């Protein structure tokens, strides 16, 4: 697995002599974060690809579906073997925070995402 490392602001970095993440837990963690941030219908080549925020994560009565959607997106990421620990909560500002420990092909990584 190989990915261009994101800059500190979370955007992709391009150009010569910039780092790549190769066969590492950090590489898989970055792929997970990219998949979680991609909203369904956002990628013009495959409108079905992406995280289904509308109706499954955001809105009323999504307690039963939001964790299923996030866990599914994590588990379907290439390089992921299993989720060891998973906790999520929604704060008063309606931000969903996910904390997870993920076992990858290359080792274990911890995730912290606010969606």
Looking at the domain assignment, is residue 21 inside a domain? no
Helix ranges (H only) for the chain are: 25-37, 53-56, 63-75
Say how many domains are in the chain: 1
90 lies in which domain range?
33-114
pLDDT tens-place string over residues 54-104: 888 888 888 889 999 999 999 999 999 999 999 999 888 888 999 999 999
pLDDT tens-place string over residues 18-65: 788 899 999 999 999 999 999 999 989 998 899 998 888 888 888 889
Q: Which two tokens stand for residue 8?
A: 């500190």
Looking at the domain assignment, is residue 105 inside a domain? yes
Looking at the domain assignment, is residue 18 inside a domain? no
Question: Binning pLDDT at 50, 70 and 90, where does residue 16 land?
Answer: low
Looking at the domain assignment, is residue 15 inside a domain? no
């Amino acid at each position: 697995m190989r990915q261009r490392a994101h800059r500190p602001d979370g955007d992709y970095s391009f150009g010569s002599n910039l780092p790549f993440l190769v066969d590492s837990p950090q590489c898989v963690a970055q792929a997970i974060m990219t998949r979680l941030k991609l909203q369904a219908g956002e990628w013009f080549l495959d409108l079905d690809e992406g995280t289904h925020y509308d109706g499954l994560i955001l809105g009323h009565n999504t307690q039963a579906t939001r964790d299923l959607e996030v866990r599914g997106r994590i588990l379907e990421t290439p390089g992921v073997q299993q989720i060891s620990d998973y906790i999520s909560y929604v704060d008063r500002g309606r931000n969903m925070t996910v904390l997870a420990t993920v076992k990858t092909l290359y080792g274990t990584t911890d995730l912290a995402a606010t969606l």
